[in-house]
Amino acid sequence: MPIILNIDNKYKFDLEIIQENNILQKKDAELFEDIIKIASEIKQINTNFTIFQEKIIGQNRINYVSSLDKLFIHLTALQIHTQESFHTDFTETGYDFKVPIFYKKQRIFSKGLLDEEKPIDLDTFDRMFDSMIILKIKELLVKFKEFITMDQKDCKDNLLSLYISFDDILYNILTVRQNIEYI
């Protein structure tokens, strides 16, 4: 299930997820399990490259970007499940999402704007992944656990916070993906 991502010279992005196997059929628990597994694998790759101070090039870079894409896709599927579960449209919240996810007729797409690229080194890249993605996924898991114990009205009242968490993580994955060419 590839991601088609185009970023122009003004950092505007246009993204589409092509569904090969219907990831939206997975249950939330499966998606969370996969998200944790994929994020852990990426963290291990980061650690290995940092220890040996290697650049991520060639097939390693292709595999790395593929793993980031899988993480992005699984998080997107979970966000879509959440929207469908609560019968909500996040665009009605009034919040300016950086990576608004739209799902229509088996198409998942987004458009937005990334920050300007800044060259980074491998150590910074690893710390960036930890703070911008791993930590935020942990926070998302905690929020989901809290949602499980809430009644339907409280869930709807706190839904914007959950959507903002998804948005932050998805944006950060795109940022990491954009910056990989510098390491």
pTM, two decimal places: 0.89
State the pLDDT at residue 1. 57
Positive/negative CA dihedral, 17, 28, 40, 128: positive
Range of the domain at 139: 3-182
- The 10s digit of each residue's pLDDT in 105-146 is 778 999 999 987 665 666 677 788 888 899 999 999 998 888
- Token look-up 């903002």 returns 164
Q: First-to-last CA distance in the chain?
A: 25
Residue-by-residue pLDDT tens, the chain, 183 positions: 578 999 888 989 999 998 766 788 899 899 999 999 999 999 888 777 766 666 677 788 888 889 999 999 999 999 998 888 877 777 677 788 999 999 887 789 999 999 876 656 666 777 888 888 999 999 999 988 887 787 777 777 778 888 999 999 999 999 888 877 655
Cβ distance 136 to 168 under 8 Å? yes
- Please tell me the total count of domains within the chain: 1
DSSP 25-91: GS-HHHHHHHHHHHHHHHHHHHHHHHHHT----HHHHHHHHHHHHHHHHHHHHHHHHHHHHTT--GG
3-7/102-104 β-pairing: unpaired
What CA–CA distances, in Å, run from 117 to 17, 112, 158, 179? Answer: 23, 15, 33, 7
State both tokens at 45.
Answer: 């790759």
Residue 27's φ and ψ, nearest 5 degrees, are -80, 160
